[in-house]
Structure 1
C-alpha cells in the first residue's frame, strides 16, 4: 500500500468548499472523475453507502467512515472487487482563501493513476464561484 497527500489552495470560502464535499449531489460539479453518485443520502455522514459512477459508466461502491463537520474533515472507503482505497479529506482556512487536502491510501499503481485526477478535483473544489 502507498500513501500520498495532495493539496490545493483557492479563493473560495472554507464553508463553501466544505459544502461542496458535504452535499453528495455536488460531487460531479467539481470532480471530473465523477459523473453521478447513487445513494439515498443527500449529505455525507458516517455509515452512508452508495456508488460513485465515473466516465464510461465505471462505478465503485463507497462507505463514508468518518465525518467531523466542525473540523471539516471526512474519510471514506471505496472498493471494486478486491481493490480497496481509503480517502481522507479536509478543508481549512488559508489566508484569504481555502486549502483542501486529500490523503490516498491505496496500492501504488492506483495512487499513481488517480492522483492527477484528484489534484484537478481539489483545485476545482476550492476555486471561487
Structure 2
C-alpha cells in the first residue's frame, strides 16, 4: 500500500469549498471525471454509501467513514472490483481563499494513475 498527498489553493472561501464537498450532487461540477453520484442521501454523513459514475460509465462503490463539518474534513473508501482506495479530504482557510488537501491510500500504481485527475479536480474545487 502506498500513500499520496495532493493539495490546491484558490480564491473560493472555505465555506464554499466545504459546501461543494458536503452536497454530493455538486461533485460533478468540479470533478471532471465524475458524471454522477448515486446515493439515497444528498449530504455527506458518516456511513453513507453509494456509487460514483465516471464520465465513461464505470461505477465504483463508496462508503463514507467519517465527516467533521466543523473541521471541514471527511474520509471515505472507494472500491472498483478488487481495487480499494481510502481518501481523506481537508479544507482550510488560506489567505483570502482556501486550501484543500487529499491524502490517498491504496495500490501505488492506482494512486499514481489517478493523481492527475484528482489534482485537476482539487484545483477546480477551490476556484470561485
Structure-2 residue corresponding to 1:66:
66
Counterpart Cα distance in 2 of 1:7 and 1:111? 14
Structure-1 residue corresponding to 2:2:
2
Mark the runs of 5 or more structure 2 residues left unpaired by the alignment.
Answer: none
Structure-1 residue corresponding to 2:84:
84
Structure-2 residue corresponding to 1:16:
16
Counterpart Cα distance in 1 of 2:85 and 2:62? 9
Q: State the Cα deviation string for residues 7-35 of structure 1 (Å, max 9, x = none).
A: 00000010000000000000000001100
Counterpart Cα distance in 1 of 2:19 and 2:25? 11
Structure-2 residue corresponding to 1:112:
112
For 1:83-102, what aligned pairs fall within 5 Å after superposition? 83-102=83-102
Q: How many residues align?
A: 128
Q: State the Cα deviation string for residues 94-120 of structure 1 (Å, max 9, x = none).
A: 011100000010101111110000000
Work out whether 1:51 is the aligned partner of 2:51.
Answer: yes
Counterpart Cα distance in 2 of 1:105 and 1:62? 14
Match of 1:18, SS?
helix
User: Normalising by structure 2, what TM-score?
Assistant: 0.98
For 1:16-35, what aligned pairs fall within 5 Å after superposition? 16-35=16-35
Counterpart Cα distance in 2 of 1:119 and 1:56? 19
Counterpart Cα distance in 1 of 2:58 and 2:21? 21
